[in-house]
Structure 1
Amino acid sequence: MATYNKRGYKPKTKVEKQVEEEVIESTTAEVFNTLDETASKTEDFVAKNQKYIFIIIGVVAAVVLGSLAYKEYVAKPKQMEAMNDMFQAQKYFDQAVTGVEKDSLYNLALNGGEGKFGMLDIISEYSGTDSANLASYYAGTAYLRLKDYKNAIEHLSNFSSEDEILAPLAKGNIGDAFVQLNQKEDALSYYEEAANMRNNEYTTPMYLSKAGAVALDLGKADKALTYYKRIKDEFANSTEAANVDVFIGKAQVLANK
């Protein structure tokens, strides 16, 4: 392939070429010397501190293996045992929701019966398990139905979940408890959180409606109007949408005063 020299190009002399080659060789040698020095320093560091390095590696390995062993041989069996012990309490709770002797059944769900654990026992005996977490939801809801609102708030606040329905229900139940305690600002905050946690046809319009009602009660008509319009626009098929135009009209009147 032909090569082209720029105008004014002067070929390098033999001396210039020799100098250039020596510079390249010198630079290359410096690079390799630097690499050698770095490697040597690293080897010296490892040699001087290998005892501590091995200790650190050992500690990390022990933590990882210990965590895996705990999950496999402690946490899993403990969770299974908790689920078994929780079965009767959950049965009492379900019967309370659908039955007639609600108060006595909710108390049994909380405190146990027939020699079986209640939700409070599960929380105490199996702390840190998924079952104890779920028991906090059941306990909080049972206390809410028994009108023990402070205990309801305490236990529902200890519950955490990513579930589509249970997560907003827990927040909304706390809102219900604050309404009963006449702490409307707190109730509104929890209703708003419950409405915004998930976007579904059940919990979202329900808590938008409750937030709207409390907002109206607090004189926050503009905020209530926003909630009611969202029900109308986004959840037209929900139960709450059936009479939402009435509440929109009421909120508009109050907002314009």
Structure 2
Amino acid sequence: MNLSKNIHGCFFISICELIKSLIFAGEKFNRMAKKQTKKAPEVEYELLEKPEEIASRLERGEAFVKKNAKVFGGVLIAGILLMAGVLYFQIDKQNKNKKGQAEMFQAVYYFEQDSIDFALNGDGSNPGFLKIIDQYKGTEAANLSHFYLGSIYLSEGQFQKAVDHLKKFSANDYFVQARAFALLGDAYLELGNTKDAIAAYKKAVDHKENKHFAPRYLNKLAIAYEEAGDIANAIKTYQIIEDKYFESFEFTNARKHRARLEGLASK
């Protein structure tokens, strides 16, 4: 209710300002003309002090408004319709998102319990991720469903479907988004697309880098470089793990594989 009042208030103020500017349009034009002809400021003050001159200008402004009443009316109606449309879209999207997230609760439960078919297609009473995406397009519920579907298809060996869904997912949360980039890299690597796998792993590493997950993504990146035949960058990537993340689980593995690759490179 307060939102509606604020919108109506904003419209009323905007229209008043528009009419005010039109009424005094003639006066502003005359002032600009005076400046261009370099007349003394005293002339302006003398004119403003003449009531008959002010009345004449107001009459001209009023006549201008009356003459263009249809234009103003059209602008006002178009503005009202536009704001009403935007408001309706926002409210409808919020309602859909709220309903979609409530309905996907059961699908997430099935996902966590490895009940893949129910997670994908629902159980007859509750929708699965596929239906949520179809019914709630453009909502956060649909966005999250893309992430879950990408994870499911990756684990099921349907790598292209995993890519298709993970590419549609985006999040502000640094952990989930970095995880999505890494999963996307995994899918690309399984498809033999080392170029896109490397790009995805780099995004995972660079996305709000942190000491807990960056070493894991760097390890994946090094593997992708090796798969692509880029031994030099694979060695450099393992070296980053050794230099920056010496307390990580991946540290020992990085030392071992860096030494192995350096041996290969020296042959």
1:213 to 209, 223, 226: 223
Q: CA RMSD in A?
A: 3.0
- For the pair 1:121 / 2:121, whether they are aligned, the reply is no
- For the pair 1:28 / 2:46, whether they are aligned, the reply is no
- For the pair 1:183 / 2:193, whether they are aligned, the reply is yes
User: How much does 1:183 deviate?
Assistant: 1.7
Between 183-192 and 43-52, report the one with greater CA deviation.
Answer: 43-52
User: How much does 1:178 deviate?
Assistant: 1.4
How is 1:73-88 mapped onto 2 (pairs within 5 angstroms)?
74-88=92-106
Q: What residue ranges of structure 1 are gaps of 5+ in the alignment? A: 1-24, 97-104
Closer, same or farther: CA 51–29 of 1 in aligned 2, 3 Å: farther
Match of 1:55 in 2: 74
User: How much does 1:212 deviate?
Assistant: 0.8
* Structure with greater Cα Rg: 1
| Cα shift readout 1:32-68 (whole Å, capped 9, x = no counterpart) | 67xx9x9999877656545324433443343234323
Match of 1:233 in 2: 243
User: How many residue pairs are counted as aligned between the two chains?
Assistant: 223
Counterpart residue identity of residue 206, structure 1:
R
Cα distance between partner residues in 2 of 1:120 and 1:45:
58
User: How much does 1:26 deviate?
Assistant: 5.0
Cα distance between partner residues in 1 of 2:264 and 2:66:
79
Cα distance between partner residues in 2 of 1:256 and 1:30:
90
Cα distance between partner residues in 2 of 1:125 and 1:145:
25
Cα distance between partner residues in 1 of 2:73 and 2:242:
65
Match of 2:107 in 1: 89
Q: Check the 8 A contact 1:83/1:131 in 2, yes or no.
A: yes
Secondary structure at the aligned position of 1:236 is classed as: coil
Counterpart residue identity of residue 138, structure 2:
G
- For the pair 1:71 / 2:90, whether they are aligned, the reply is yes
Cα distance between partner residues in 2 of 1:223 and 1:39:
76
| TM-score of the superposed pair, with normalisation by structure 2 | 0.72
Match of 1:151 in 2: 161
Counterpart residue identity of residue 56, structure 1:
V
How is 1:3-42 mapped onto 2 (pairs within 5 angstroms)?
27-29=40-42
Closer, same or farther: CA 251–31 of 1 in aligned 2, 3 Å: farther
User: How much does 1:209 deviate?
Assistant: 0.8
Q: Check the 8 A contact 1:198/1:204 in 2, yes or no.
A: no
User: How much does 1:163 deviate?
Assistant: 1.1
Closer, same or farther: CA 39–146 of 1 in aligned 2, 3 Å: farther
- Percentage of identical aligned residues: 29
| TM-score of the superposed pair, with normalisation by structure 1 | 0.75
Cα distance between partner residues in 2 of 1:254 and 1:188:
21
| Cα shift readout 1:216-244 (whole Å, capped 9, x = no counterpart) | 22222222233222222322222212322
Cα distance between partner residues in 1 of 2:263 and 2:179:
31
Secondary structure at the aligned position of 2:192 is classed as: coil
User: How much does 1:125 deviate?
Assistant: 0.8
Cα distance between partner residues in 2 of 1:126 and 1:184:
34
Match of 2:28 in 1: none
Q: Check the 8 A contact 1:178/1:187 in 2, yes or no.
A: yes
Counterpart residue identity of residue 51, structure 1:
K
Counterpart residue identity of residue 82, structure 1:
G
- For the pair 1:130 / 2:148, whether they are aligned, the reply is no
